[in-house]
Amino acid sequence: MVEFIESKLVRLRKEVDEMWDLVRAQIEKSGDAVQNLNKDDARTVIVREKHVNAFELKIDSDIEDIIALYSPVAVDLRLVLAMLKINTNLERIGDFAEGIARFVIHCPMSLNEVLVEKLQLKTMFATVLDMLDTAKRALDEENPDLATSVLSKDALLDDINLAVAPILADYLGDHPEDRLLCLNLVSVFRKLERAGDHITNMAEEIIFFVNAKVLKHKGNTDEHYI
């Protein structure tokens, strides 16, 4: 029985690893699409979203089988639960990538380069990708310190997102005809900020898996263990 569950857990980790790579590619491709207003890249992201959704369902099904057939306990149970929640968060990040791609598809005009630089759009995408990479390393290496480092990076996304509205308000003073574009740009930044939140959730699940420490409610100093 032990050998069977170990092989299932190895397979599960491999599947989550593949899902992670797919979602990362979606974010990277959507970033290329929006920064270059490349509709072909945007269409690729939209088509691949179906694969992300199918992958999520497959992983969920495999997790249900592991729980039903093997009744994992202790660290194995923490791993399975963490994979379940990470899988859900990855799917949501994939949704955000698709939403950004749809912005590109429907964008009728090129983006003002000075505005894009001031908004720090490139930094926003780079930070999301860096958080994804760091969290993935933390999971692969079972390194809670790496996972913890992800949490602090989310603050940069929050700061950039907060600055978007006033920057766009100033821009609209001189370009009132771009109001719809600016409204949609707000949505792009919001999606990236939410992606950061979901990566933070994943980092917390990694810490839970490795250290059995729950960080979901940061204001609560109590530690809970399984």
Q: Which of 224, 83, 209 minimizes the C-alpha distance to 144? A: 209
Question: Does the pLDDT value for residue 2 go beyond 70?
Answer: no
- Is the pLDDT confidence value at 1 over 60? no
Q: What is the mean pLDDT of the chain?
A: 93
What number of CA atoms fall less than 13 Å from residue 153's CA on the CB side?
26
Residue type, 111: L
How far is it, in rounded angstroms, from Cα 207 to Cα 145?
8
Calculate mean pLDDT across residues 191-198: 98
pTM recorded for the entire structure? 0.92
Question: What is 164-201 written as a DSSP string?
Answer: HHHHHHHHHHH-GGGHHHHHHHHHHHHHHHHHHHHHHH
Q: Are 135 and 123 in contact (CB under 8 A)?
A: no
In the predicted model, is pLDDT for residue 77 greater than 50?
Answer: yes
Please give the Cα distance from 194 to 196 (Å, whole number).
5
Residues 130-159, mean pLDDT to the nearest whole number: 97
Q: From residue 154, how far is each of 159, 166, 196 by CA, in Å?
A: 9, 20, 6
Which residue segments constitute the domains of the chain, with CATH numbers given? 2-211 (1.20.58.220)
Residue 223: pLDDT band by 50, 70, 90 thresholds?
very low
Mean pLDDT, residues 114-123: 96
* Most confident stretch, 17-31, 100-114, 173-187: 17-31
